[in-house]
C-alpha cells in the first residue's frame, strides 16, 4: 500500500515537472474582474506582501527568467497577471499585486486590494492560493488578515517562505527541520 502511494506520488511529481518544463505563456493582465477569462481551467494564485517574491517564484517554478516581471522596487505587479501552463493549457498561474506597500497612493492601494479581495473570494476555479512570507520577517498583521480572508471564503491556501537564503545561516536550520506531518493534497491540473 505504501509502495503504491509512493509510486503515485512519484508519478504526480514527474507529471508536474514535465508540465512546468513545457510551454508556459503570459495570457493577459486584468485590472477589473470582468476582464478575466472564463472560469474553465483551474487557477493557482500567488499572494503576499509587496516585494516578498511572488513574481520571482512564478519565474523559478516555470524555469523562465522574466515570464513574470520581478523588481527590487516594491509595487511592481499592479494587476492580476495570468499565465497559461501547458499546450493546450490545463492550468493558469495568477501573479497578484502585493499588499502592505506603504508608498502606494491610498486610492491605488485600495483599488489593488479590492481587485485581489474580490478575485480571491469569488473565483470558483481558484484551487489554491500560495501565500508567500518573507522568512526573515515572519507573519505581519496583513498576512494574518489574508489568512482570515481566505478562511472566510473557504479558499485552500499554502504558505511559502521566501528569501531564506538571506537569513544569517542561509536557511540551513529551516531546511533540516522535519517537514510537517500534514501536507496539502495534490493539485488538480485539469478542469473537472
Ligand X SMILES: Nc1nc2c(ncn2[C@@H]2O[C@H](COP(=O)(O)OP(=O)(O)OP(=O)(O)O)[C@@H](O)[C@H]2O)c(=O)[nH]1
Q: Which of ligand X, Mg ion, none has residue 52 at its interface (CB below 5 to 8 Å by kind)?
A: ligand X
Q: Does 50 bind Mg ion (CB under 5 A)?
A: no
Q: Give the residues across from 83 on adjacent strands.
A: 26, 93
Residues between 53 and 72 with contacts to Mg ion, criterion CB under 5 A? 54-55
Whichever of 10 and 110 has its CB closer to ligand X, that residue is: 110
Q: Which of ligand X, Mg ion, none has residue 56 at its interface (CB below 5 to 8 Å by kind)?
A: ligand X
Whichever of 55 and 62 has its CB closer to Mg ion, that residue is: 55
Q: Which of Mg ion, ligand X, none has residue 136 at its interface (CB below 5 to 8 Å by kind)?
A: none
Can you give the binding site for ligand X, defined by CB under 6 A? 48, 50-56, 70-72, 74-77, 97-98, 162-163, 165-166
Whichever of 30 and 39 has its CB closer to ligand X, that residue is: 30
Task: Outline where DSSP puts E strands in the chain.
Answer: 24-30, 43-48, 80-85, 91-95, 126-134, 157-162
Closest listed residue to residue 74, CA positions, set 112, 43, 35, 41 = 112
Q: Give the residues across from 82 on adjacent strands.
A: 28, 94
Find the shortest distance in angstroms from Cβ 3 to Mg ion.
Answer: 41
**DSSP β-ladder status, 24-30 and 43-48:** unpaired
Give residue 138's Cα distance to chain centre: 17
In whole angstroms, give the CA distance from residue 66 to residue 59. Answer: 6
Amino acid at each position: 500500500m505504501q509502495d503504491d502511494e509512493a509510486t503515485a506520488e512519484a508519478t504526480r511529481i514527474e507529471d508536474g515537472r514535465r508540465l512546468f518544463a513545457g510551454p508556459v505563456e503570459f495570457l493577459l493582465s486584468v485590472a477589473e474582474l470582468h476582464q478575466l477569462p472564463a472560469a474553465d481551467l483551474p487557477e493557482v494564485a500567488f499572494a503576499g506582501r509587496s516585494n516578498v517574491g511572488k513574481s520571482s517564484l512564478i519565474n523559478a517554478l516555470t524555469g523562465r527568467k522574466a515570464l513574470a516581471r520581478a523588481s527590487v522596487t516594491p509595487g511592481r505587479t499592479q494587476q492580476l497577471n495570468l499565465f497559461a501552463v501547458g499546450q493546450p493549457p490545463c492550468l493558469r498561474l495568477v501573479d497578484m499585486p502585493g499588499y502592505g506597500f506603504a508608498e502606494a497612493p491610498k486610492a491605488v492601494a485600495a483599488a489593488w486590494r479590492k481587485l485581489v479581495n474580490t478575485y480571491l473570494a469569488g473565483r470558483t476555479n481558484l484551487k489554491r492560493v500560495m501565500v508567500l512570507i518573507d522568512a526573515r520577517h515572519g507573519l505581519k498583521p496583513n498576512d494574518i488578515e489574508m489568512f482570515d480572508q481566505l478562511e472566510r471564503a473557504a479558499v485552500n491556501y499554502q504558505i511559502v517562505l521566501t528569501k531564506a537564503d538571506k537569513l544569517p545561516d542561509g536557511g540551513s536550520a529551516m531546511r533540516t527541520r522535519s517537514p510537517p506531518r500534514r501536507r496539502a493534497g495534490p493539485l488538480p491540473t485539469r478542469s473537472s
